Chain A
Amino acid sequence: MKTKIRELRKANKLSQEELARAVGTTRQTITSIEIGKYIASLPLAYKISHYFGLTIEEVFDFSESEE
């Protein structure tokens, strides 16, 4: 699944470690979500989106998984 986490992080000048700590997860999980290896659960997706002040659909691209 594609996400905009990396772009949002760069725009907010945040490291993976800082984002991970803010949303209650680990740096490795953020890395895996960013490169599309791991699909975040709904609560984690909500926390990440909420942190950036966006909706889940604005951060996560569901178009591939719908096909």
Chain B
Amino acid sequence: MLNFREKLKKRRWLIRISCVIVLLVIINHYFGNFLSFPTPKEPHISDFQMGLLMGIELCLIFLSFKYRKAINDENELQDFYNSEHDERKNLIRQKAGYPVIWAASIVILIAAIIAGYYNVTVFYSLAAVAVIQIFFAAFLKFVYSKKY
């Protein structure tokens, strides 16, 4: 359990660093582009990117609080450990292809953001693929959680 607590502490540091980076990019966008980032030609693509980053920021803040709670409370830590190593949950995640689909969706979303600087159609296609993949994985997870 001590090892797991250390693992959570490391993960929390990574989350904090990501949080600061994302926040910096958001502040840069709304307060004068002091980092001199290129901006997409279409304004709505830039809005999509900011929306996505704000969503990621909120998720990171939520995760950070969740980890802090687990690190400071022994019972929470035990529950967190059990939940993360639960064989039924892992089976459902594997059956729904969660790890692969999430990794693929994140790569596709990054590609969509980069493509947004050059071509609007490619941006929409990639963003749609990523969103549909995530919804499909969530649907499969729901189906398998009812089955098992």
List chain A positions with a Cβ less than 8 A from chain B.
20-21, 24-26, 28-29, 32, 37-38, 40-41, 44
Cβ-closest chain B residue relative to A30 = B88
Is B89 close to A, CB under 8 A? yes
- Whether the pair A41, B87 counts as a contact (CB closer than 8 A) is yes
Q: Kindly provide the distance from the CB of A22 to the nearest chain B CB, expressed in whole angstroms.
A: 10
- Whether the pair A26, B147 counts as a contact (CB closer than 8 A) is no
Complex Cα distance, B79 from A25, in Å, reads 8
- Give me 5 other A-B pairs in contact (C-beta within 8 A), A21-B78, A24-B85 excluded: A26-B82, A28-B89, A32-B148, A37-B148, A38-B88
List chain B positions with a Cβ less than 8 A from chain A.
78-79, 81-83, 85-89, 147-148
Complex Cα distance, B81 from A25, in Å, reads 9
Cβ-closest chain A residue relative to B78 = A21
Q: Return chain B residues, CB-CB under 8 Å to A26.
A: 82-83, 86, 88-89
Shortest Cβ-Cβ A-B pairs, 3 listed:
A29-B88, A38-B148, A26-B86
Can you list 29 A-B contacts (CB < 8 A)? Answer: A20-B82, A21-B78, A21-B79, A21-B82, A24-B81, A24-B82, A24-B85, A25-B82, A25-B86, A25-B87, A25-B88, A26-B82, A26-B83, A26-B86, A26-B88, A26-B89, A28-B86, A28-B88, A28-B89, A29-B87, A29-B88, A29-B89, A32-B88, A32-B148, A37-B147, A37-B148, A38-B148, A40-B87, A41-B87
Q: Kindly provide the distance from the CB of A33 to the nearest chain B CB, expressed in whole angstroms.
A: 8
